[in-house]
A and B are shown apart, each in its own frame.
Chain A
């Protein structure tokens, strides 16, 4: 049975698109047929982060309006055969994202894909609500910072009251916390909320901790999901998070300050 996963946060700039790209690529690397959909109508960016911006012909809104079919709009990833990108439109008409149309497209995608990742826009407006409405699971992307934690709490409340599962009294959306931009050095100094603090405040299960890492900017610069950079801490942390999502037990890495060798201290971080 295909699963719809929304990647959401409330607050902007916390790493939703990075996470959507990394998570989708991670699932594809594990052999699952995965599509990642950009729900941020008007501010298309998933195509850039996935490195397929020059291959966009038709988009999500074209398919919803019946101007194109799915096969014309879906972009097959060049690095992994299981991975597909579904770009959004750059129209300024935010209401183009009709709930019935989205439902129809999702139902069609469910026939061929194992996982459908919905990359939500920031905020709690129409686009964000539409992105989470059909979700079976949710990944709440949170930074260890007060405004991000507060907005995550708000989005968790919306998921448990306004999603389709909530409206139909079905089993609730399976909600996971993904803590991003975590800096263990600052946590040790008491300058940043700890993993435990955030988990306790939001009281949802922890899927993973992604350390603040230079590899994330490098990945978006080159249009490569960070999981394809197998040497980077962030890439490995995302691979772990995907494995946990699939039911594996894995120890949390990158939550303690790294021991730096003499040369690392001298020449800065590699």
Chain B
């Protein structure tokens, strides 16, 4: 029975797989292609400044430039839940 299933089970068509993979990879690449090149530097600066007050790392800061209608929207998300205060210490080396 196993052999029967193996031989006759419908296999996904490879063209459909190609289409899905392309859609995903291109959505990702288009988003990063359109991003202005100052975003990584802005993220670094934010890490330095916020790092003076709470202990955070790079993964906790998300900087994104989106669009809503005609206006560009700079979106900055910083997770600090559970982060320890960092009073009196210098900024972490980045």
State which of B15, B22, B29, B33 has its C-beta within 8 Å of the C-beta of A190: B15
By secondary structure, the A interface counts as helix
State A191–B16 Cα separation when bound (angstroms).
8
Nearest-neighbor residue (CB-CB) of A153 within chain B: B26
B23/A146 in contact, CB under 8 A: no
Within 8 A of A (CB), among B1-47: 13-16, 18-19, 21-23, 25-26, 29-30, 33
A137 at the interface (CB under 8 A from B): no
Contact B15 A201 (CB under 8 A): no
Counting chain B residues whose Cβ lies within 8 A of the other chain, the interface size class is 10 to 19
CB distance from A203 to the nearest CB of B (A): 10
Q: How far is the CB of B26 from chain A (nearest CB, A)?
A: 5
Cα-based distance from A197 to B29 in the complex (angstroms): 18
Q: Does the CB pair A190–B13 fall under 8 Å?
A: yes
Most buried by A among B21, B22, B23, B25: B22
Which one of B19, B25, B26, B30 contacts A193 once the chains associate, using CB atoms below 8 Å? B19
Check if B21 sits within 8 Å of A197, measured CB to CB: no
Interface string of A166-206 (1 = CB under 8 A from B): 00000000000000000000010111111001000100000
- Contact check, A157 vs B22: say whether CB atoms are below 8 A apart: no
Residue of A nearest to B33 (CB): A157
**A215 vs B23: C-alpha distance in the bound complex, in angstroms?**
33
A227 at interface (Cβ–Cβ under 8 A)?
no
**Closest 8 A-B residue pairs measured CB to CB?**
A190-B13, A197-B19, A190-B15, A146-B18, A193-B15, A153-B26, A157-B33, A201-B22
Binding site for B on A (CB under 8 A): 145-146, 149-150, 153-154, 157, 187, 189-194, 197, 201
